[in-house]
Structure 1
Amino acid sequence: MSHPSPIVLALGLNYPPEPTGISPYTGSMARGLARRGFITRVLTAHPHYPDWKVKPGYGQWSRSEHLDGVAITRLRHYIPAVPKGLRRLASEISFGARLGGHRWKDVDAIVAVSPALVSSALAAVRARVTHRNVPFVVWVQDLYTLGLSETGQAGGTVVKLMSMVEGWLLRSADRVVVIHDRFATRVSEDFGVPRDRIEVVRNWTHLPPAKTVDVVATRAQFGWADDEEVVLHAGNMGVKQGLGNVVDAARLAAERGERVRFVLLGAGSELQRLKEAGSGIPTLQFLSPLNDADFAAALGSADCLLVNELPGVSEMAVPSKLTSYFSAGRPVIAATDVTGITAEEIRNADAGVVVPAGDPAALLEAVSALAADPEGSRRLGANGRHYRSTVLDEESAIDQFTEMLRRLIPTDDRVAVSVPDTLTT
């Protein structure tokens, strides 16, 4: 069957059904492009994040699916149990090798999602060899080199080397899409990418519009008492989140006899260490990942929602959880660099309060201050929901991405091609 529609190939390590991180955005964008008339193909890995183990039912050498109008091919790659250092690098290289060895066929545009930086760079090399005249777009969710530097996960030599790789990748792209204006500034100033080749497309909440939440029933379901202040952190539990600070705040609340419960919802590479550190603390609770409906109910039933970042993390990423937090209509506490990008986002939305990273006493004081000001808390929550509906709207973001692709694709020269329902394995 012949299709005159533009064909887009998306390359990324993460894709639904992974519930958190970059995956929901890549999935929503692919589905959105398909709805707008693009033939959308995805090359991705088997679902494994944030647990770093392959989801049951997956794990074949390759697997083809056709979901929501998107042709998806999943490629098996090396997944380390502890995703740090050389093991993390080997994982990215193995995925990049799978991308490079797979048949891409004829496409009109290629979108590489970074991170993972190394696999995106290997894909860019492949694109130069086999698809030189096809527009190549890099969609930057996190700034990789800044992440290594700010979290202290690599030494100076490694950071310098990865900065060279990241700079080459971004400069070689026909367009660089970033998720925040401050990212655009860093990409331009740090890596020498001309500003007119950078597009800002904001992330959005991947949750459906909020339904009325039965707060009483939900709090009872999770064992949250009516007279305790519930502080919920949702999402990945990795190095960047610095969640030892939350464990310390919970311990301090227990020592003071305060009616506060800190809840860590999700999974990640640091989960076991956090459980060991928090063992026996009555004001600390761990919850496993939830389905979308229960997740939204949990957010809407907590008293406040927490973003916690490791001291030193400032510019590397905009926490994806903020989009869901704002949608829930609850005040946000950000324990982070007070001059960083997360703090700026909270202030722009006027949706919460900011306290210094790594200061459990300041975090606990912010919880108490919000508990003492219910009217102010309601106002902050309403502001977040307004910001989500006006600034972080999904359809507007995908429309913007669509228009960028249409400008890049030389439609006059495109010819009809034969396209099967799935990618060739």
Structure 2
Amino acid sequence: MDSTSELPVILPQAPVLPAQRTTTSLGSKHVLVVGINYAPEPTGIAPYTTGMADHLTTRARSVTVLTGMPHYPNWQIEPQYRFRLRTREIARQVGDAFDGLAGIGQHDGLLIRRLRHYVPARQSAARRAGYELTFLMNCLSTPIEQRPDVVVAVTPSLGGAVAGARVARRTGAQLIVVVQDLMAKAATQSGISGGGGRVSAATAAVERYALRRADLVAVVSDAFRPQLHAYGVPDERIRLLPNWTHIHACGLSGPEARQALGWPQGVFTVVHTGNIGLKQDLGNLVEAARICAERDAGVRFVIIGDGSQRAAIRAQARGLGNLEFVDPLDGVKYPQSLAAADLLVVNERPGVGDMSLPSKLTSYLTAGRAVIAAVAPDGATAQELRRTDGAAHLITPGDPAALADSVLALRRRPTHCAEMGVLGRAYAQAHLGREAAAARLDAIVEECVAG
């Protein structure tokens, strides 16, 4: 197994935050970003961590990323990385707004260090602990070539947050933790095997350790604040950093998009995208499709993506003619799949509340299609969707009959669905733009440096 190796230039797939070089107090500073998910992973947290690192490259003297081997959402390490302990990659062109960053002006570009870690084929609390611990140990044993002035650690994973805290303490750097998921909450709410009791308590202790050592904590949802307060993080150290939309609407009508993808016309198309894991509880969607098949032949369900539960969900759906599974799509076909939908689905396991905010929401709302969400009424997802003032229809999670009834009711109201889509896109344009996210990120980092 190689201990380290040079790999060629990488080109992240997703559009990133706006990239205009400016002179700031970060111009002479070095930033370290720590997070286990990164491009070329197409979904989940990776596009946001990638976007932040790329944007900071336009502000700071240099940016180094400590990340994992690409493995999400299928939970398998990509073949080209399978036998490597560490890799070292120099990104000289990033996204669609960067060109030849390394060596230009006073900026040194972006260095990506990919670190080997255990990737469990099946999810359990013990396997998740191994996943976290191996990434943490490789982070701590990897030499940092440039002493950082600012460390930005992203959860998940907790291992990355702890590593970021340890590096910041050792080097005297300022520490920002960006909370995408609350991991202790996830241990109890996601349904992972062995995730309750002692495991949840231990996870909370580790999470508390990392968050209390941060100079600033950035959360993607205000629903996370109460848990941070319970950890002893004062409100004056918490900042809101909502995720931004990392896709562009493809501009095709529904029939045009279905034609481009080779999907059938003349049916009401219901689409779910993203991770197929425990938290998503997509067995609920399968049973709703079964009910719809018995009541209306003009409804088609599509599940796009991969994840630890895909095989189990496919087995549950065996024999259903109105449900299709599609592998993860590239940056061109994914927006087309959203445009091809008449209705986009968010589905969460009953009991999931304030542990996370689905990353797919920004893409769904940008696509301008109606959204149906089977989520806890007081959870982070419901709170975010209520802010759209009508773009989403909320129903009780874990009730396939209620989901089927709502799908069929919306099928009978195409004008209302179109109005919901317009409201979603308007909300995305007003609140989920990359420019606004870039300004918030700049403000948080500048405040941390000045503080």
Question: TM-score, with normalisation over the residues of structure 2?
Answer: 0.86
Residue matched to 1:62 = 86
CA deviations on 1:195-242 (whole Å, 9 max, x unpaired) are 0100101001111x3232153343245554333111100000000000
Q: Given residue 166 of structure 1, which amino acid in structure 2 is its aligned partner?
A: E
Do structure 1's residue 24 and structure 2's residue 47 form an aligned pair?
Answer: yes
2:182 maps to 143
Unaligned runs of 5+ in 2: 1-25, 95-108
Task: Give the secondary-structure state (helix, strand or coil) at the position aligned to 2:278.
Answer: coil
| Counterpart mapping for 1:48-197 below 5 A | 48-59=71-82, 60-67=84-91, 68=94, 69-104=109-144, 105-128=146-169, 130-131=170-171, 133-153=172-192, 154-188=195-229, 190-197=230-237
Q: Distance in 2 between matches of 1:125 and 1:39?
A: 20
Relative contact order higher in (CA < 8 Å, ≥ 6 apart): 1
CA contact (8 A) 1:184 1:200 kept: no
Aligned residue number for residue 341 of structure 1: 380
**What's the offset of the Cα at 1:73?**
1.1
Supply the AA of the counterpart residue of 1:332: V
Residues 370 and 421 of structure 2 are in contact (CA less than 8 Å); yes or no, is this contact kept in structure 1?
yes
Runs of 4+ displaced beyond 4 Å: none
Give the CA deviation at 1:410: 4.9
User: How far off its partner does 1:87 sit?
Assistant: 1.4
Partner Cα separation in structure 2 for residue 11 and residue 119 of structure 1: 6
Which amino acid in structure 1 is aligned with residue 87 of structure 2?
R
Candidates 250, 258, 272, aligned match of 1:233 = 272
Farther off after superposition, 211-220 or 336-345: 211-220
Could you tell me how far 1:285 is from its partner in structure 2? Answer: 0.7
Cα shift readout 1:297-336 (whole Å, capped 9, x = no counterpart): 1101110100000011111111110000001000000011
8 A Cα contact 2:44 2:275, kept in partner: yes
Question: Matches of 1:386 and 1:35 in 2, distance apart?
Answer: 29
Contact 2:27/2:61, CA 8 A, preserved across alignment: no
Decide whether the 8 Å contact of 1:204 with 1:392 is kept in 2: yes
SS in structure 2 opposite 1:262? strand
Cα distance change of structure 1 residues 4 and 400 upon mapping to structure 2, 3 Å threshold? closer
Report the residue type matching 1:107 in the other structure. Answer: P
Decide which moves more: 22-31 or 99-108: 99-108
2:344 to 289, 305, 318: 305
- The answer to whether the 8 A contact 1:309-1:335 is kept is yes
> How large is the RMSD of aligned CA atoms in angstroms?
1.7
Q: Count residues with an aligned counterpart.
A: 405
**Which amino acid letter does the alignment assign opposite residue 191 of structure 1?**
Y
TM-score (norm 1): 0.91
Residue 285 of structure 1, aligned match among 301, 318, 324: 324
Query: Where does structure 1 lack aligned partners over 5 or more consecutive residues?
Result: 412-425
Separation of aligned partners in 1, 2:414 and 2:450 = 55
Secondary structure of the residue that 1:292 maps to in structure 2? coil
Q: Which residue of 2 aligns with 1:362?
A: 402
- Rounded Cα–Cα distance in structure 2 between residues aligned with 1:183 and 1:394: 22
CA distance in 2, matches of 1:47, 1:119: 15
2:56 and 2:380 map into 1 onto residues whose CA distance is 29
| Whole-angstrom CA distance in 2 between matches of 1:217 and 1:390 | 27
Q: Determine the C-alpha separation between the residues in 2 that align with 1:119 and 1:15.
A: 12
Instruction: Output the CA distance in 2 between the equivalents of 1:222 and 1:212.
Output: 14
2:261, 2:333 within 8 Å by CA — same for their partners in 1?
A: no
- CA change 1:410–1:222 in 2 (3 A) is closer
3-state secondary structure, aligned to 1:80: coil
Aligned to 2:14: none
How many Å separate the matches in 2 of 1:328 and 1:376? 16
Equivalent of 2:411 in 349, 359, 371: 371
Secondary structure at the aligned position of 1:64 is classed as strand
Shift of 1:152: 3.4
- 2:191–2:279 contact (8 Å) kept in structure 1: no
Match in the other structure for 1:270: 309
